[in-house]
């Protein structure tokens, strides 16, 4: 699991050594390898996450996890294998390879997050990566297909906590107290106003209150209610405004009821925003090279590739794995999750196409932001 990928790190290093690819460690259990093409060209970044999830595997696979309570239920083991496969193809064909491929083997995607520590330790700077990609297996697409969608493709997942304080008292004498129960009810209803009346109906936003607790018994006026919730957004501008809008409602409703409220926001990963120009040009390039390229809908899940794509023009590619014949039909994070290994050659070919296309200029790259 996150930052425990010592065995995986050692395997990646062993394989890169066998291929004669230089590499260094960073972000504790991460590895950066570099494939130097023999011909001049641009620098691409290829990212694979490596961590597992705290789930006991129930897939029935011959290669199922042997560690109780730990499982590759999101396909990150396949992501790692495909990046090693791409490394081999690029290294063995380096005489005809324009540019440089930086191999980003990342820990802790499922949490607490390994992308930002890798960036902080210079993963994108030496050499200076000009465009970055990643694969994520996706059972919405059949094996053999890939998915490339411009713009936001994954959501920001932010958490919030609300505590409302009033004045307790006897249930029969409300006028002597400040009752937080009706205040909480009004707050919950008013919060939906942020989605329903303050956000473009064509944009994506979810505000969910997941828990509420408060009160002592039927004839006591509660002096405190606690609630927790999640906010999901795609558009960074909508996300940036969310906290202020929630706070205005929480504070305003509390004031109207004579109570006092506190809102705490806990920010998760930002949304993954595929660079539109890069996504369109890479989709056209792969299509021209015989790939079957779909344009799947965005999801409200989270993914810390977002940090790479904020720093460098980036595109997240979905890799189809749906195949009923081998039981590769479950969504990620399911204990029954299976992965059709027939998808692996398509994944390797996609990573190689990115490195070669960016490297020789066939896939134009917009300017890096910083
Ligand atoms: Zn996952
Ligand atoms: Zn994942």
Which ligand has the shortest distance to the CA of 111? 1
Could you tell me the distance, in angstroms and rounded to a whole number, from the CA of residue 26 to the centre of ligand 2?
Answer: 20
Which ligand has the shortest distance to the CA of 305? 2
Contact 128, 277 (CB under 8 A): no
Domain with CATH 3.40.630.10 in the chain: 6-153+272-360
Could you tell me the distance, in angstroms and rounded to a whole number, from the CA of residue 333 to the centre of ligand 1?
Answer: 6
Cβ neighbours of residue 70 under 8 Å, at least 6 residues apart?
1, 52, 53, 54, 55, 56
Neighbours of 8 (CB within 10 A): 19
Could you tell me the distance, in angstroms and rounded to a whole number, from the CA of residue 302 to the centre of ligand 1?
Answer: 8
Cis peptide bond prior to 21, omega within 30° of 0: no
Please provide the CATH number assigned to the domain covering 6-153+272-360.
Answer: 3.40.630.10
Could you tell me the distance, in angstroms and rounded to a whole number, from the CA of residue 300 to the centre of ligand 1?
Answer: 12
| pTM of the complete model beyond 0.75 | yes
- Give pLDDT tens digits along the chain (370 positions): 999 999 999 999 999 999 999 999 999 999 999 999 999 999 999 999 999 999 999 999 999 999 999 999 999 999 999 999 999 999 999 999 999 999 999 999 998 999 999 999 999 999 999 999 999 999 999 999 999 999 999 999 899 999 999 999 999 999 999 999 999 999 999 999 999 999 999 999 999 999 999 999 999 999 999 999 999 999 989 999 999 999 999 999 999 999 999 999 999 999 999 999 999 999 999 999 999 999 999 998 889 999 999 999 999 999 999 999 999 999 999 999 999 999 999 999 999 999 999 999 999 998 876 6
Domain with CATH 3.30.70.360 in the chain: 156-266
Which ligand has the shortest distance to the CA of 75? 2
Residues around ligand 1, an ion, CB closer than 5 A: 74
Could you tell me the distance, in angstroms and rounded to a whole number, from the CA of residue 75 to the centre of ligand 2?
Answer: 6
Across the beta sheet with 260-266, what order do the strands follow?
Answer: 205-214, 224-233, 156-165, 260-266
Could you tell me the distance, in angstroms and rounded to a whole number, from the CA of residue 303 to the centre of ligand 1?
Answer: 8
Which ligand has the shortest distance to the CA of 110? 1
- Phi/psi at 213 (5° precision): -145, 145
Which ligand has the shortest distance to the CA of 55? 1
Choosing among 3.40.50.620, 3.40.50.2000, 3.40.50.450, 3.30.70.360, the CATH entry for 156-266 is: 3.30.70.360
Could you tell me the distance, in angstroms and rounded to a whole number, from the CA of residue 76 to the centre of ligand 1?
Answer: 8
């Amino acid at each position: 699991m996150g930052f425990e990928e010592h065995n995986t790190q050692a395997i990646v290093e062993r394989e890169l050594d066998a291929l004669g690819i230089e590499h260094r460690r960073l972000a504790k259990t991460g590895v950066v390898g570099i494939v130097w093409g023999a011909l001049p060209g641009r620098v691409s970044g290829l990212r694979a996450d490596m961590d597992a999830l705290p789930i006991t595997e129930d897939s029935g696979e011959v290669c199922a996890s042997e560690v109780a309570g730990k499982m590759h239920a999101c396909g990150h083991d396949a992501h790692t294998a495909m990046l090693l496969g791409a490394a081999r193809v690029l290294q063995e064909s380096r005489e005809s390879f324009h540019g440089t491929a930086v191999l980003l083997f990342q820990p802790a995607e499922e949490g607490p997050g390994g992308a930002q520590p890798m960036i902080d330790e210079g993963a994108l700077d030496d050499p200076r990566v000009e465009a970055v990609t990643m694969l994520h297996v996706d059972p919405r697409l059949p094996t053999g297909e890939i998915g490339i969608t411009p713009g936001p493709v994954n959501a920001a997942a932010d958490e919030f906590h609300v505590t409302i304080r009033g004045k307790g008292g006897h249930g029969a004498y409300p006028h002597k107290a400040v009752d937080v129960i009706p205040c909480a009810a009004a707050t919950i209803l008013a919060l939906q106003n942020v989605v329903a009346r303050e956000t473009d109906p064509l944009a994506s936003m979810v505000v969910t209150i997941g828990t509420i607790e408060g009160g002592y018994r039927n004839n006591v006026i509660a002096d405190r209610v606690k609630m927790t919730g999640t906010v999901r957004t795609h558009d960074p501008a909508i996300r940036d405004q969310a906290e202020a809008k929630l706070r205005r409602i929480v504070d305003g409703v509390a004031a109207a009821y004579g109570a006092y409220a506190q809102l705490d926001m806990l920010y998760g990963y930002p949304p993954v925003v595929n660079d539109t120009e890069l996504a369109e040009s890479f989709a056209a390039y792969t299509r021209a090279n015989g790939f079957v390229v779909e344009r799947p809908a965005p999801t409200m899940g989270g993914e810390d590739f977002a940090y790479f794509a904020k720093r460098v023009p980036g595109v997240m590619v979905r890799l189809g794995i749906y195949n009923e014949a081998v039981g590769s039909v479950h969504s990620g994070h399911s204990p029954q999750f299976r992965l059709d290994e027939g998808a692996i050659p398509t994944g390797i070919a996609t990573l190689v196409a990115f490195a070669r296309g960016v490297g020789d200029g066939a896939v134009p790259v917009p300017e890096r932001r910083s």
